[in-house]
Amino acid sequence: MRNIKLTIEYDGTKYNGWQRLGNTDNTIQAKIEGVLSKMTGETIEIIGSGRTDAGVHAYGQIANFKTQSMMAVYEMRDYCNQYLPQDIVIKEAVEVDERFHARYNATSKKYLYRIWCGRVPTAFHRKYTYYIPQRLDIEAMKKATGYLTGEHDFQAFSSVKSKKKSTVRELYAIDIHREGSELNMMFYGNGFLHNMVRIMAGTLIEVGLGKMKAEEIPEIMEGKVRANAGVTAPAQGLFLYEVDYGE
């Protein structure tokens, strides 16, 4: 049995997220599994590095699947790109060790959140950025990142409902920089909870708008109450940028 690792790029605008759902095939996972199953003549199930919500995009989602097919990996890639919708692209297909697991073996991830800060909105980037016409205090936002980085309990910055799983994560860095009308925030950490990046982005935006002070963040973390953190930033600005496996 061969184990194939895929690097996937997708525009999540019209999909109900990554994860396969029982009541619809309108998910990234379902679309890829359908093409792979037709290609191999097997019932293929793929394992993603993590789930992305409806409307969230990816530059570098990673997944793996097992198959008995002897097709060359470049032929698998090309077959998928021929039959998948144009907003889902297999950037790379490689054969890996049978023990490789896209989710469990991931050591860190990067997420990018994009904001359009121009005085007027953009027609061409509206599906891939969050438009904020007000002025953002970028220095205040950068100051706030210092309270978020490090190892913390991020329960207040997530939509996790289960009390059984740990909400402690380590955030290595948040890089904020502006190029023209676009402001990018890159979040780099060892793992992220459900909606964690979008809530952190929403919190930083509120700091930038003067609705919240950077110094409030430690108290919000300590309180572990979701309502005390910022809003959940819209899905269209978020991209799963990169998944690392310590290679």
Active site (catalytic) residues: 53
What is the distance between the alpha carbons of residues 115 and 194, in angstroms, rounded to a whole number? 20
CB neighbour list of residue 196: distance below 8 Å, 6 or more residues apart: 154, 157, 158, 169
Instruction: Using DSSP, state whether 163 is helix, strand or coil.
Output: coil
What is the distance between the alpha carbons of residues 67 and 77, in angstroms, rounded to a whole number? 14
Are the CB atoms for 74 and 95 separated by under 8 Å? no
What is the distance between the alpha carbons of residues 126 and 103, in angstroms, rounded to a whole number? 31
Joined together, the tokens standing for residue 240 give 């799963």
